[in-house]
Amino acid sequence: MPAVNVAIAPAPHRSAPDMPASGPIADRFGRVHRDMRISLTDRCSLRCTYCMPEQGSEWLARQSILTTDEIERIARIAATHGITTFRLTGGEPLLRRDLEDVVARLARIPGAEIAMTTNAIGLDRRLPALVDAGLGRLNISIDTLDRDRFRELTRRDRLDDVLRGIRAASEAGIGPLKLNAVAMRGVNDTEIADLVQFAIDHGAQMRFIEQMPLDAGHTWSRSEMVTREEILGRLRERWAIEPVPGRGGAPAESWRLDGSERTVGVIASVTAPFCGACDRMRLTADGQIRNCLFSNSEFDLVPLLRGGSDDAAIEGMLRRAIWGKLPGHAVGDESFLQPARGMNAIGG
Ligand code: SAM
Ligand code: SF4
């Protein structure tokens, strides 16, 4: 990978204190963690080029996938120590047959908010039950509105299914509804304004994500990536844009369109990382805690879950995983090593 100069946005430096045994789950830079991304499966109904290989995926062994009881136990322990948002992801969470049960059980945890990131294939049929179960927020991925491009990009001819899912979410009034697209040169960079209009028409916020080096094929290159600046340039071709203040810990910066209430989000994970405000931890479908998308280390909860350990041991593992978090990632830096897992197996 070529050496490029990408800024890290580190957490503010503090002298390293000892790991606290109680209180909220925090790292040594003072970042308190509130958000847990839970991957329910590494399998998917699509094969997006930036995420999965066309074929030859080595799937996680079925017996290694966490059961719903195990997920609920981890979530309850995390919630007791300050985690308030659980975002279900994958792979494709809709491929999990008992998804409604997962949502219902997590939604019963006091103070928990349940969100999901999905490609929306089959969502129209399952949405009423998911909403009843307590699903609160929904992010749907859609990178292009062009059927041929969609087929090339995802290696599946399923655009109509995705559009049906988006319509169902829009009509259900689930809110806030967000649509996500990875911006890609020569693929959808000319569609940026059209995607924004599509989202507005469906009562949703469009968000554009800089492509990250998490593809299974390890083909990411910085020079091919569409940057935040380019995305903003495309938006300016159609609207006057101004930043919305008060981003907080959110990964997306919001931009107001023509002074209206309508906004677009830009997630500049590579060129303007938001590591300093990161409050996320990840639980993979096979029970590993990851403190960062780009981390090369994992903390295995399975021996504890299946070996009769008590809740305190699991809490301790969550705390240790987050205590070891680095101040920022160094994507694009010469020393950067792409994680062995593809995005589908980490949980985006
Ligand atoms: N299958 C669901 C979906 O696509 O929404 C959930 C899992 S997917 C891994 C979660 C998000 O990660 C999607 O919005 C997807 O576009 C994004 N993603 C996957 N690979 C990426 C990459 N290399 N760079 C940036 N975003 C990526
Ligand atoms: Fe599947 Fe989502 Fe990865 Fe696309 S981005 S291959 S929909 S997990």
pLDDT, tens digit, 9 for 90 and up, residues 19-70: 888 899 999 999 999 999 999 999 999 999 999 999 878 899 999 999 999 9
pLDDT in the model for residue 2: 32
Please compute the mean of the pLDDT values over residues 320-330 and round it to a whole number: 91
Spatial distance between the Cα atoms of 31 and 45, rounded to a whole number of angstroms: 35
Mean of the per-residue pLDDT values for the chain? 91
Please compute the mean of the pLDDT values over residues 298-325 and round it to a whole number: 97
Please compute the mean of the pLDDT values over residues 95-99 and round it to a whole number: 97
pLDDT in the model for residue 51: 93
332 band by pLDDT with thresholds 50, 70 and 90:
low
Instruction: Specify the CATH class of 35-346 in words.
Output: alpha beta
- Overall residue count recorded for the chain in this entry: 348
174 band by pLDDT with thresholds 50, 70 and 90:
confident
Task: Provide the residue ranges of all domains of the chain, joining segments of one domain with +.
Answer: 35-346
222 band by pLDDT with thresholds 50, 70 and 90:
confident
Q: Is the CB of 332 under 6 A from ligand 2?
A: no
Query: Does pLDDT of 6 surpass 50?
Result: no
> What tokens does 305 get?
């879950």
Query: Does pLDDT of 270 surpass 50?
Result: yes
Q: Is the CB of 90 under 6 A from ligand 2?
A: yes
Looking at the whole model, is its pTM more than 0.75?
Answer: yes
341 band by pLDDT with thresholds 50, 70 and 90:
confident
**Centre of ligand 2 from the C-alpha of residue 47, in Å:** 6
Cβ 244 vs Cβ 255: under 8 Å: yes
> What tokens does 331 get?
């994507």
More reliable by pLDDT, 227 or 7: 227
- Residues lining ligand 1, CB < 6 A? 44, 50-51, 89-90, 92, 117-119, 141, 180, 182, 209, 211-212, 214-215, 343-344, 348
58 Cβ contact partners less than 8 Å away, ≥ 6 residues apart: none
Ligand nearest to the CA of 40: 1
Spatial distance between the Cα atoms of 10 and 24, rounded to a whole number of angstroms: 21
